[in-house]
A and B are shown apart, each in its own frame.
Chain A
Amino acid sequence: MAEVSWSRWGIEECLRFRDLAPGSVVHVRPGASFDPNLPPMAGQLLHDRDEVCFVPRFPFVEGTAYGVVVDGVATTVIVRPRADLPATAEVVDVHPTGDTVPRNLLRFYVAFSAPMGEGCAAEHVGLFDCSGNEMVGALLATDHELWDGHRRRLTVLLDPARIKRGIVGHLEASYPLREGTAFTLVIEQGFHDAHGTPLRTRYERRYEVGADQRGRVDPDRWGLSVAPAHTGDPLQVGFDRPLDFGLLGRCLFVKGPDGGRVEGSPEIGHSERSWRFQPATPWAPGPHRLVVNPILEDVAGNSVDRVFDRDLTRSEDDPRPAGAVARTFQPR
């Protein structure tokens, strides 16, 4: 009887057979039924010196049992073990970075050091009040977690139904946060990375809750500090309120006197209250434009175009006509 074990063939995971008779026919199937009516698992038998390896076309699934049939004889059932790897992933950043957030804060961004697994957020991300009690229902419960393409940045939403005034969630449970109090965002150690391994350590960040942030984002209220022409000094932009970290990364850019985009390095300042732009080459003389994609939001979800939670009696909160927004500046 051939002896079967988990092994590798080059970089490929495989089942390794010792004492397999030459010319033997090997079939591997998931499950332990040995049902000959089911197609065998796709793969190939490859020789490694005097042993034989079954290298599957699709990887083995951790925790799944595989039935092995040699020359029509049920030989063994072997269970693919779950990986037991050391914990290496950790939370490296959380936005907003300011110490105080508005009562109508809409979201957090949690950045991890490695690609993470899905399905952990509801259980392992939470808000706790200053007495250490979990603020149940403060975060939006959703099965489908909001990850970036590399699954390193998780967007965590506070429940919008409790933030928008006048709808059932708000009327019944009010805001998730209370002005004048403090709370802690916690990412538990049990949050798994893509290999199923927990975090190195639990993460906590404390915030104070301030007044609501209302009204559209208005780039005309920003302070611009403009560098002299022919220098490589940065353009510095100060915002009148903290803006959304995720959108800041892709909603601001600079156009030069020729209308072309100015190459350079943007950097978001502390508390997301400022933005600086270091041009790759010295500033040309002439008018430049800081172009703002009107989807840019503050931390409460108010954008350049519209407010998140509109009070119909405030005409100043009516949506803005569609179109790009820009601030013109001229290097001195």
Chain B
Amino acid sequence: MSEYGLRIGSAEIGSAGPIAFGPDGILFLADNEAAKVFAVDVADPGQKSEAEPFDLENVDERVGSFLGCEAADVIVRDMAVHPSSHNVYLSVQRGRGDAGQSVLVRIDRVDGSVSHVALNEVPVAVVTIADAPAEDDERLDITLPQGDEGEELEIRGRTIRILRRPIRTSTVTDMAYVDGSLLVAGLSNEEFSSKLRRIPFPFTDDVVDNSLEIFHVSHGKWETAAPIRTFVPYDGGRSILASYTCTPVVHFPLSDMKPGTKTVGRTVAELGAMNQPLDMVSFVQDGEEHLLVANSRHGLVKIACRDIDAQEPLTEPQKPVGVPRETEDLQGITCLANLSEGHVLALQVDGDRRHLRTLKTASL
């Protein structure tokens, strides 16, 4: 691991954040409390294997039992699948408030057993997000939360729940690794605070960052402050598709992003107001790339990337809403990860329980 600059050390994290796998089974973990991203050799014990479909009931209860807490005290912040063993990694906050503790757990895809991934005395590298919002920055980031966090509001006759949090907690909202770069979306300390950062890996200080501006169809205005909630590399990593709260999907070509400039995205779809995008993956079906968007209000949304490429930028309020989309009858999905060419792993809420389900892409 020394070729990636990893040295024995600690990656103890203050707040569990997004996770993503990089080269050779190295896992990236974001800690928004410390405004840092760690790269950790997780020493996955699994064998290299084909990605068989994998389902596991009551994941939160199982993880809670292992961690010694109630299922309600297991808050899953992100999910990633190990690229060769296909074991499942969950970024978990155990408990709330002062008793809260960040934990990385591994679920063995062969027997469903739960284990704890050590983050002390392990090969690790770290990069600090230099322009993160300060701890006492009072600006608030508004999201539509899962579960019972936040406060209820009635908007146009519909009751929704919103959560206001200091923008520091959205320093990193999602990450993906592409060809020697870690792409990091989130907020910065600047006035135009929505940011996409490209951090070289092995980590160096040559971070390329861009402020982002998008046309928000359901809000009917250009926006620079709200962060990307989730994104996926696209077109072989030459661009990204990103989604925002209330729910535009926006295309950003990375090649057009000159360092330090403000980049204007091409809004290609509007998936509805009062809706929070939760996760995205892309997959190939019949030789063509498709996008899946898990979201808080509708079933899983599927979009053909061919339509995205042909879509003129949306710049008018409310309508048109852009590319055609299919809404699957799959509700409650909060996390997605590619398991294999033919399968996507989903974390699905059903009542007060959460389960891991494998979705066959051919039947989506």
Taking CB atoms and an 8 Å cut-off, the chain A residues in 168-207 that contact chain B are 194-195
Give bound CA distance, A167 to B317, whole Å. 22
Across the interface, do B138 and A119 meet the contact criterion of CB distance under 8 Å?
no
Complex Cα gap A293–B135 (Å):
17
Cα distance, A30 to B74, chains bound together (Å):
12
Residues of A within 8 A of B200 (CB): none
User: A217 CA to B296 CA in the complex, in Å?
Assistant: 43
A61 touching B73, Cβ below 8 Å: yes
* B74-119 CB contacts (< 8 Å) to partner A: 94-95, 97-99, 101, 103, 113-114, 116
Query: From residue A106, how far is it (CB to closest CB) to chain B in Å?
Result: 9
Tell me, in angstroms, the Cα distance from A31 to B70 when the chains sit together.
7
Q: CA–CA, A237 to B67, complex, Å?
A: 55
Query: Interface stretch among B160-168, B216-224, B247-255, B284-292?
Result: B160-168
Q: Are B66 and A149 in contact (CB under 8 A)?
A: no
Tally A-B pairs: CB < 8 A. 89
Question: Are B94 and A144 neighbours in the complex by a CB distance under 8 Å?
Answer: no
Is B309 on the interface with A (CB-CB < 8 A)?
A: no
With A144-B165, A148-B135, A155-B138 as given contacts, are A38 and B97 in contact (CB-CB < 8 Å)? no
Contact between B70 and A30 (Cβ–Cβ < 8 Å)?
A: yes
Q: Assess the B68–A61 pair: CB atoms within 8 A.
A: yes
Structural contact, B70 and A39, CB atoms closer than 8 A: no
Check if A56 is an interface residue, CB within 8 A of chain B. Answer: yes
Interface bin, chain B: 20 to 34
Cα-based distance from A217 to B203 in the complex (angstroms): 41
Determine whether the beta carbon of A155 is less than 8 Å from that of B136.
yes
A128 interface residue (CB < 8 Å to B): no
CB-contacts of A239-294 with B (<8 A): 246
Selected contact of B98 from candidates A40, A57, A194, CB within 8 Å: A194
Let me know if B151 is at the binding interface, CB within 8 A: yes
CB of B73, distance to nearest CB on chain A (Å): 7
In the bound complex, CA of A114 to CA of B73 (Å): 25
On chain A, the residues within 8 Å of B116 by CB distance are 42, 57
> In the complex, are the beta carbons of A38 and B69 less than 8 A apart?
no
Give the complex CA separation of A149 and B169 in angstroms.
12
Contact call A58/B101, Cβ cutoff below 8 A: yes
Please tell me which one of the listed residues B73, B97, B136, B163 contacts residue A119 in the complex, with CB atoms under 8 A apart: B97
Chain A residue with the shortest CB-CB distance to B150: A143
Quick check: B164 and A38 within 8 Å, CB to CB? no
Asked whether B61 is an interface residue with its Cβ less than 8 Å from the other chain, the reply is yes
B138-166 CB contact bits vs A (8 Å, 1 = yes)? 10100000000111000000000001111
**Residues of chain B contacted by A60 (CB below 8 angstroms):** 68
Please determine whether A58 and B164 come into contact, CB atoms closer than 8 angstroms: no
CB of A41 closer than 8 Å to a CB of B = yes
B343 adjacent to chain A (CB < 8 Å):
no
Q: Which residue of A lies closest to B114 (CB)?
A: A39
Is B151 within 8 A of A61, CB to CB? Answer: no
CB of B266 within 8 Å of the partner chain: no
Known: A143-B149, A157-B138. A58 touches B103 (CB 8 A): yes
Q: Quick check: B68 and A38 within 8 Å, CB to CB?
A: no
B64 within 8 A of A: yes
**Interface check A89, CB cutoff 8 A:** no
Task: List residues of B whose CB falls within 8 A of some A CB.
Answer: 33, 61-62, 64-70, 73, 94-95, 97-99, 101, 103, 113-114, 116, 135-136, 138, 140, 149-151, 163-166, 169
List the 4 shortest-distance A-B pairs measured between CB atoms, nearest first: A38-B65, A41-B68, A144-B165, A39-B66
Given contact pairs A118-B97, A142-B140, enumerate 15 new A-B contacts (beta carbons under 8 Å): A30-B65, A31-B65, A38-B62, A39-B65, A40-B65, A42-B66, A42-B67, A57-B116, A61-B68, A61-B69, A61-B70, A143-B164, A144-B166, A149-B135, A246-B136
The residues of A with any CB-CB pair to B shorter than 8 Å are 28-31, 35, 38-43, 56-62, 64, 66, 107, 115, 117-119, 141-144, 146, 148-149, 151, 153, 155, 157, 194-195, 246
